[in-house]
């Protein structure tokens, strides 16, 4: 059964959406004979023998031994699931226009999208009959009860936490903790390889994301920043507000470093470099434009590897 309701924008609509999704659930569970995961009672009855407990930010959930129909609501969860060879049946996306990020490869391209990261579509998630849903407390807190009515739901605390911790949680939810450690080790090994290959220790690097004339400088706890630091770069000191800091173009020289990266939706766009940086080119001798889709939003082991490949290409070109 497929029907689309408006996205629940307000509390009022949320209630309507709850009623609507409940209707979907009743219809599904009465129509399908033994489809597991339609509600908590059925899932615990049919899969009781093969569940295990997963600790997460909302408590403890009984999750199937080998979840097969997984829905993820956050980029790092999507990236990790694909990296661990559990291609989700549904995922939210940052932009419905661009869809699933290209860097995740062909397997991921066919994943059904279920709304956007901040606004997942409950009906679409329910219609996929998942056996596990992974979400994020800071973004999807109010949806937890609705989601756990559909399938066992595991929440990570925050997308701002160090991403390797979130990778481990996703690994645990998927019952692939060992594999999660392996992909994290591979990432670290790749970092070390680049660190040694280019003799990076002691150099500084700064990633800039231009927005509406303002420059957002990303700090060491951001995904891009932590990846740069992983290869031995240090990030110049700033008064970070959480993972980044916004500065006026008048302070563009605060962004100088041995290696400066500017993110863009389309790195080939001739306007990708903001005017303030372009007017001070002598202060930015080692400047490169990089793709925002993995440098900013590609959080996870696969995105990390893609960033490291791109970084290696840039460092090789700069050395030549």
Partner 1 sequence: MTPTSPVVDAPGAVRAYPRGRRARLGTFVALIAVLLAAIALSITVGANPIGPGTVLDTITGGGDDESRFIVWEQRVPRTAVGAVVGIALGIAGALIQAFTRNPLADPGILGVNSGAAFAVAVGIVFFGVTDISGYVWFACAGALIVTFGVYAIGATGRGAASPIRLTLAGIAVGAVLSGATTGLTLTHPDAFDRMRGWNAGSLLERGYDVLTPVVPLLVIGLVLAFGVSSAMNSMALGEDTARAQGVNVARTRVLVLVAVTLLAGTATAVAGPIGFVGLMVPHVVRWTFGPDQRRIVAGSFLLSPILVLLSDVVGRIVVLPSEMPVGIVTAFVGAPVLIVLVRRRNASAL
Does residue 243 interact with partner 1 by CB under 8 A? no
Q: Which of residues 277-296 bind partner 1 (CB under 8 A)?
A: 279-280, 282-283
**CA separation for the pair 29, 40 (Å, rounded):** 12
Residue spans of alpha helices (H) in the chain: 11-31, 40-46, 75-83, 106-109, 122-127, 137-140, 144-150, 163-173, 177-197, 223-230, 275-278, 292-295, 301-319
Minimum separation from the CB atom of position 132 to partner 1 (A): 27
Does residue 4 interact with partner 1 by CB under 8 A? no
Does residue 242 interact with partner 1 by CB under 8 A? no
CB–CB of 152/131 below 8 Å?
A: yes
> 97-103: which pairs have CB atoms within 8 A and are 24 or more residues apart?
98/293, 101/75, 101/293, 101/294, 101/297, 101/298, 101/303, 102/293, 103/293, 103/294, 103/298, 103/302, 103/303, 103/306
The stretch among 72-80, 138-146, 165-173, 240-248 that binds partner 1 (CB under 8 A) is 240-248
Secondary structure letter of residue 161 according to DSSP: S
Find the binder of partner 1 among 132, 134, 276, 296 (CB under 8 A).
Answer: 276
Does residue 253 interact with partner 1 by CB under 8 A? yes
Minimum separation from the CB atom of position 209 to partner 1 (A): 11
Binding mask 189-218 for partner 1 (x = CB under 8 A): ----------------------xxxx----
Does residue 99 interact with partner 1 by CB under 8 A? no
Residues that contact partner 1, how many (by CB under 8 A): 31
Q: Can you give the binding site for partner 1, defined by CB under 8 A?
A: 94-98, 211-214, 239, 245-254, 265-266, 269, 271, 274-276, 279-280, 282-283
């Amino acid at each position: 059964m497929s029907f689309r309701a408006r996205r629940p924008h307000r509390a009022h609509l949320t209630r309507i959406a709850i009623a609507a999704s409940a209707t979907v659930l009743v219809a599904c569970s009465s129509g399908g004979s033994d489809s597991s995961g339609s509600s908590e009672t059925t899932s615990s009855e049919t899969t009781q023998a093969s569940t295990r407990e997963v600790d997460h930010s909302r408590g403890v959930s009984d999750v199937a031994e080998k979840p097969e129909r997984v829905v993820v609501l956050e980029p790092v969860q999507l990236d990790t699931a694909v990296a661990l060879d559990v291609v989700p049946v549904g995922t939210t996306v940052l932009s419905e226009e661009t869809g699933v990020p290209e860097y995740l490869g062909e397997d991921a391209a066919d994943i059904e999208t279920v709304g956007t990261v901040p606004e997942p579509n409950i009906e679409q998630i329910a219609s996929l009959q998942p056996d596990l849903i992974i979400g994020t407390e800071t973004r999807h807190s109010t949806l937890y009860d609705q989601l756990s009515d559909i399938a066992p739901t595991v929440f990570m605390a925050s997308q701002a936490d160090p991403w390797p911790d979130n990778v481990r949680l996703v690994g645990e939810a998927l019952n692939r903790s060992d594999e999660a450690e392996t992909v994290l080790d591979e990432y670290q090994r790749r970092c070390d390889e680049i660190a040694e290959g280019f003799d990076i220790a002691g150099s500084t690097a700064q990633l800039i994301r231009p927005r509406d004339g303002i420059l957002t400088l990303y700090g060491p706890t951001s995904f891009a920043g932590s990846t740069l630091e992983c290869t031995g770069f240090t990030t110049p000191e700033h008064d970070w507000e959480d993972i980044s800091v916004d500065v006026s173009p008048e302070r563009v020289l605060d962004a100088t470093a041995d290696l400066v990266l500017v993110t863009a939706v389309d790195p080939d766009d001739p306007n990708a470099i903001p005017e303030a940086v372009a007017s001070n080119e002598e202060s930015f001798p080692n400047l490169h434009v990089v793709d925002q889709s993995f440098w900013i939003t590609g959080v996870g082991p696969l995105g990390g590897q893609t960033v490291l490949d791109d970084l290696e290409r840039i460092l090789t070109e700069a050395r030549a």
